[in-house]
Every structure is written in C-alpha cells, then in structure tokens.
C-alpha cells in the first residue's frame, strides 16, 4: 500500500483524501489544525506547519505522491506561500514523491477567449505572480531531474465545502430567497469546477507519468453566467426566482476598508467582469476525465449550504 500525503484540508484536500482512502491507499492529511474528513477510514490527520521544511520532509518520507492542496488566507499569500512552496519542493526531492500541485487560473492574467494550458503565464496581479512563480520553480526542478512535478488548474469551485464568490456571496442568498448584491457582471460566461472532479484529476495526475512536467486543466462543464447558475440553484431547491443586482464599485471598495478578504478580492475582480472560460479538452482527450454535470455539483453545493448552521 503506497503512502499519499496531502497538504491542506479544505474542500479539495478533503475530497482528495476521501477518494484515495476509498480506493485503498494509505493517506496522510496535513493541515495546521489537524482537521479533515472523519467519515472515512484510512485517513491519518496530522497537525503541522507545512512551511516547516524539516517537519514536512519527515511527514512525507516514503510517500509516492505529495498533493499540494493548501490555500493560505487570501490576504496572506505573499508571506505564507513562498516558504510553503519551497518546503514542498524540498519534501518532493527528499522523498522522491511526485509533486501534484492544485492551482488556479490567476497566472494567465486577463485573456481574450477560452483558457488552454498552452497560454503563456502573464499575471497582472501579485497573486497571479505568486502562482506563476510556484509553477516555474517546480518546472525547473522537474526539468533538472530533481523532482517529478505536475500542476492542475481549475476555475472557481462548486461542491460541498467549496469557497468561491458563487458559494459565499450568491448561493446563500438565493437558497434563502434573499436579494444578493454581487461584485460581478451577472451575464458573462464563467467556468465553475466541481471539487469532486478536482480530486479525481489529482489522483490521475499523480499516478500517470504521461501527466508529469506540465499543467492540466481539470475537467469542467461549459461556462455559465452567474445569473443562470443562480436560476438553476433556485429551481433545484424550490427557492423563489433569484433577485440579483450588480454591486456598485464603491460598495466593494468600502467593504475592503475593514475586510482584508474583500480588499484582496478587488484585485482579482477582473475575472468576474469579462468572460472567464476554461478549456479542459486536454485532460478529457488524454485521460478520459469528464466533468460532473453542473446541475449535480450545484445540487450538492446548495444542499451543503442549507445544512450548515
């Protein structure tokens, strides 16, 4: 039985841990608080600071795959990502494990047309530059033969426990029958990636050497505007027709004065004011991975929201 080590116990890390354990792998899930899924056997929960290179190397010794599913607080990326990324590279080199990094689309910056993996990384934000640098560093180590690395990229998440503008701002209001102010263009196409599909993709990328040395987009359903997603969510939960309005820029700015997450969101808001479309053709044609229907993943999302306190 091979050891799979996951760093980060959020929605993606937990879904990946559950998937690997259910297929019979030995799973160690590392997070600062030692949290994670408790409804499946075979997942060892460990509390540790993943930026501590020595401790991380100890915890990943003998691993066949390391999955970077971490996600520091949005306003602390600049300080927390660099040491953690460096520690992960060190752990991958020391253990010989494949390093599978879960990333996003920030590194591309604003683009015209659907995003494919062959687009150059041209970030326009600090967060995008951090993500781009992480992949470049991993790729250099891979090409030098020091590690084996692969990166998965996805758009905004849906699914139980997923955190995104949609799941935090829009859907809670929709299922409650309340009006939602949304800092976005409500009618431009936007891609939504299901966390369950992310977990399946990570499991494949870590095991198939054809994947290594490049980035792959997670299988994702065709893009759908926020207004249409909200309407579908209302239909799935028998909620009233959604009442959505675009949030004035001044309101978002004022929110950022006291909320650091909102302040950081302002810098990434370009993704919600123009078409933001992910093309996942490559992962489907190469590995046969397909996206879960949005109605299915959205149903899981709203059921989880309704069940939360």
- Give me the tens of pLDDT residue by residue for the chain, a chain 309 residues long: 689 999 999 999 999 999 999 999 999 999 999 999 988 899 999 999 999 999 999 999 999 999 999 999 988 999 999 999 999 999 999 999 999 999 999 999 999 999 999 999 999 999 999 999 999 999 999 999 999 999 999 999 999 999 999 999 999 999 999 999 999 999 999 999 999 999 999 999 999 999 999 999 999 999 999 999 999 999 999 999 999 998 777 676 667 666 777 777 787 888 999 999 999 999 999 999 999 999 999 999 999 988 876
Look at residue 254 in the predicted model and tell me its pLDDT: 65
Predicted TM-score (pTM) of this structure:
0.95
The CATH number fitting domain 3-155+194-218, selected from 3.40.50.720, 3.30.479.10, 3.40.50.300, 1.10.340.30:
3.40.50.720
Look at residue 75 in the predicted model and tell me its pLDDT: 86
Look at residue 110 in the predicted model and tell me its pLDDT: 95
Instruction: List all residues 6 or more positions away from 36 whose beta carbon is below 8 Å from its beta carbon.
Output: 9, 13, 14, 17, 29, 43, 45
Distances (CA, A) of 73 to 31, 79, 170, 208: 13, 10, 21, 31
Look at residue 1 in the predicted model and tell me its pLDDT: 67
Look at residue 50 in the predicted model and tell me its pLDDT: 97
């Amino acid at each position: 039985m091979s050891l799979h080590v996951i760093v980060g116990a959020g929605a993606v890390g937990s879904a990946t841990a559950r998937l690997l354990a259910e297929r019979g792998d030995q799973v160690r899930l590392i997070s600062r608080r030692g949290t994670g899924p408790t409804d499946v056997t075979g997942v060892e929960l460990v509390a540790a600071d993943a930026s501590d290179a020595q401790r991380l190397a100890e915890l990943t010794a003998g691993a066949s795959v390391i999955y970077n599913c971490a996600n520091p607080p949005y306003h602390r990326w600049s300080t927390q990502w660099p040491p953690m990324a460096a520690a992960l590279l060190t752990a991958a080199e020391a253990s010989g494990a494949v390093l599978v990094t879960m990333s996003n689309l920030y590194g591309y910056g604003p683009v015209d047309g659907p995003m494919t993996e062959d687009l150059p990384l041209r970030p326009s934000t600090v967060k995008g530059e951090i993500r781009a640098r992480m992949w470049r560093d991993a790729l250099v180590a891979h090409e030098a033969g020091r590690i084996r690395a692969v990166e998965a990229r996805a758009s905004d998440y849906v699914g139980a426990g997923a955190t995104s503008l949609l799941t935090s701002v829009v859907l809670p209001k929709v299922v409650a029958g309340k009006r939602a102010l949304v800092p976005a263009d409500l009618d431009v196409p936007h891609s939504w990636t299901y966390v369950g599909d992310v977990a399946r993709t990570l499991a494949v990328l870590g095991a198939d050497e054809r994947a290594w040395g490049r980035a792959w987009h997670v299988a994702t359903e065709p893009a759908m505007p926020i207004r249409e997603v909200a309407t579908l969510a209302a239909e799935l939960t028998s909620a009233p027709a959604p009442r959505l309005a675009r949030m004035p820029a001044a309101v978002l700015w004022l929110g950022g004065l006291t909320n650091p997450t909102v302040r950081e969101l302002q810098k990434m808001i370009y993704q919600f004011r123009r078409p933001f479309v992910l093309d996942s053709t490559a992962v489907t044609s190469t590995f046969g991975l397909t996206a879960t229907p949005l109605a299915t993943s959205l149903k899981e999302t709203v059921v989880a929201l309704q069940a939360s306190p």
